[in-house]
């Protein structure tokens, strides 16, 4: 027997289907409107979502590039190209940037006199108008608002010599474009300064320790009239080690002070020296002390109870004396960066750099087992290409009696050193991506 549907049932089914289709279309349109309207009315929300997505997706590739830079071989660092094309922000060239500088020597009180090149009559301004362009990607110019959001409620310490303090001063100048700072120093000693940004509860501090270990000047003249120092290579300097648990990030650096004559002590015994010219004392060279102090400094963080922060090694920044040494008429008079094919990392500069990186690698391996994070802020290649960025004779008044008349060690502000904070911001964004990855893995395990 054949079953037949009545006309009423057929009409009812069609009506029901039409109503269902209308409801589906209405719901779809509503969802689209709810998605589009907020992004149209609040475009910053779209930017924020895009940045988070980009940050998350790029964190793994950026992480591999950071580690690959610390694993560079001696040949590749000296100029042989790297086979892969992942973005290594530390390998590239300087390109013109007409928008720079982003602050002026008049607008920033943090610039010390010997870096204030424009105040003392430097006639050219071109040295301020360059930016670092990595070979296979872009490095964004420092964004102070973004930086402050990333470090909200955190603290950053600079440990090392005056070149390290240079970076802190550059950072303060960049941040003052969007906020204000108060002096929160615990002492009047200019070697130990602390500044607080109340709008974001962010603190930055500098700890003067040019040798990173306990040291004192045994003779203010010495063989080269730059002093003779006693260095206790197995005793980290307590001026900074006792304060590190207070900080979330620490940038460690040291370099040019090791060229000065020094006596080396280990276990309380004299073991050798660097250019001390003392009878019956073995000259172990400055590379011996340089390796030892980084080894002991990194061990501080790997054994420091209560420290759970991130340690950055800011690598050696070469000087650029030409036509003589610093005390024999050497000067730095170039007015634009080197191109990559005009120079290479070799000699003393390469040895200093490799010494740091080798000790860094060893400390990094040990740190993985202890939960401490080590990161390489690899500024050497970029700064090697900037002979134009030093004060030269424009770091003091004309004819002033100063130890280093032509300063080819420190850096003018504004100037190339601002790029170190471009690097730092990029690395902090990577840290955020790594933290999200760690939290995601932890949630999956739980």
Per-residue 3-state assignment (H helix, E strand, C coil) for the chain = CCCCCCHHHHHHHHHHHHHHHHHHHHHHHHHHHHHHHHHHHCHHHHHHHHHHHHHHHHHHHHHHHHHHHHCCCHHHHCCCCCCCCCCCCCCEEEEECCCCCCCCCCCCCCCCHHHCCCCCCCCCCHHHCEEEEECCCCCCCCCHHHHHHHCCCCEEEEEECHHHHHHHHHHHHHHCCCCCCEECCCCCCCCEEEEEECCCCEEEEEEECCCCEEEEEEECCCCCCCCEEEEEEEEECHHHHCCHHHCCEEEECCCHHHHCCEEEEECCEEEEEECCCCCCCCECCHHHHHHHHHHHHHHHHHHCCCCCCEEEEECCCCCCCECCCCCCCCECCCCCCCCHHHCCCCHHHHHHHHHHHHHHHHHHHHHHCCCCEEEEECCHHHHHCCHHHCCECCCCCCCCCCCCCCECCCCCCCCCCHHHHHHHHHHHHHHHHHHHHHHHHHHHHC
Task: Give the max Cα distance, the chain.
Answer: 123
Q: Is residue 407 among the annotated active site residues?
A: yes
Q: Is residue 76 among the annotated active site residues?
A: no
Answer whether 212's CB lies under 8 Å from 160's CB. yes
Q: How far apart are CA 155 and CA 293, in angstroms?
A: 24
Return phi, psi of residue 221, to 5°. -105, -65
Q: How far apart are CA 411 and CA 417, in angstroms?
A: 7
Q: Is residue 248 among the annotated active site residues?
A: no
Check 234, 237, 407, 418 and give the catalytic one.
Answer: 407
Unique residue bearing structure tokens 């303090």? 165
Check 206, 410, 418, 426 and give the catalytic one.
Answer: 410
Check 162, 209, 289, 392 and give the catalytic one.
Answer: 162
- In sequence order, what are the beta bridge partners of 195? 183, 204
Answer whether 131's CB lies under 8 Å from 100's CB. yes
Q: How far apart are CA 187 and CA 353, in angstroms?
A: 33
Catalytic residues: 162, 407, 410
């Amino acid at each position: 027997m054949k079953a037949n549907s009545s006309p009423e049932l057929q009409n009812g089914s069609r009506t029901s289907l039409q109503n269902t289709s209308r409801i589906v279309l209405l719901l779809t349109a509503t969802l689209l409107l709810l998605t589009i309207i907020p992004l149209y009315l609040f475009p910053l929300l779209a930017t924020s979502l895009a940045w988070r997505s980009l940050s998350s997706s790029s964190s793994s590739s950026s992480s591999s590039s950071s580690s690959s830079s610390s694993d560079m071989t001696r040949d590749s660092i000296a100029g042989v190209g790297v086979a892969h094309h992942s973005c290594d922000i530390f390998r590239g060239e300087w390109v013109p940037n007409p928008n720079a500088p982003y602050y002026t020597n008049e607008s920033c009180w943090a610039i010390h006199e010997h870096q204030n090149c424009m105040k003392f009559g430097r006639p050219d301004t071109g040295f301020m108008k360059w930016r670092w362009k990595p070979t296979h990607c872009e490095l964004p110019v420092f964004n102070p608002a973004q930086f402050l959001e990333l470090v909200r409620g955190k603290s950053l310490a600079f440990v090392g010599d005056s070149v390290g303090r240079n970076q802190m001063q550059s950072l303060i100048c960049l941040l003052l474009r969007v906020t204000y700072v108060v002096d929160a120093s615990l002492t009047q000693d200019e070697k130990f300064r602390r500044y607080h940004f109340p709008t974001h509860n962010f603190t930055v501090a500098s700890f003067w320790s040019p040798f990173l270990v306990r040291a004192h000047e045994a003779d203010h003249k010495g063989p080269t009239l730059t002093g003779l120092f006693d260095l206790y290579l197995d005793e980290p300097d307590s001026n900074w080690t006792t304060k590190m648990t207070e900080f979330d990030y620490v940038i460690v650096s040291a370099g040019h002070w090791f060229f000065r004559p020094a006596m080396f002590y280990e276990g309380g015994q004299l073991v050798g020296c660097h250019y001390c010219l003392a009878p019956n004392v073995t000259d172990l060279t400055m590379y011996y002390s340089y390796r030892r102090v980084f080894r002991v400094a990194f061990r501080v963080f790997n054994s420091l109870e209560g420290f759970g922060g991130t340690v950055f090694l800011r690598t050696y920044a070469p000087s650029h004396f030409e036509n003589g040494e610093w005390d024999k008429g050497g000067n730095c008079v170039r007015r634009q960066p080197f191109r990559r094919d005009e120079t290479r990392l070799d000699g003393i500069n390469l040895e200093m750099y490799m010494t740091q990186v080798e000790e860094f690698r060893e400390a990094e391996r040990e740190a993985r087992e202890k939960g401490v994070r080590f990161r390489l802020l690899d500024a050497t290649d970029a700064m090697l290409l900037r002979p134009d960025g030093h004060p030269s004779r424009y770091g003091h008044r004309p004819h002033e009696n100063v130890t280093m008349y032509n300063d080819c060690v420190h850096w003018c502000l504004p100037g190339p050193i601002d790029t170190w904070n471009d690097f730092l911001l990029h690395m902090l964004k990577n840290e955020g991506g790594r933290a999200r990855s760690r939290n995601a893995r932890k949630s999956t395990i739980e």
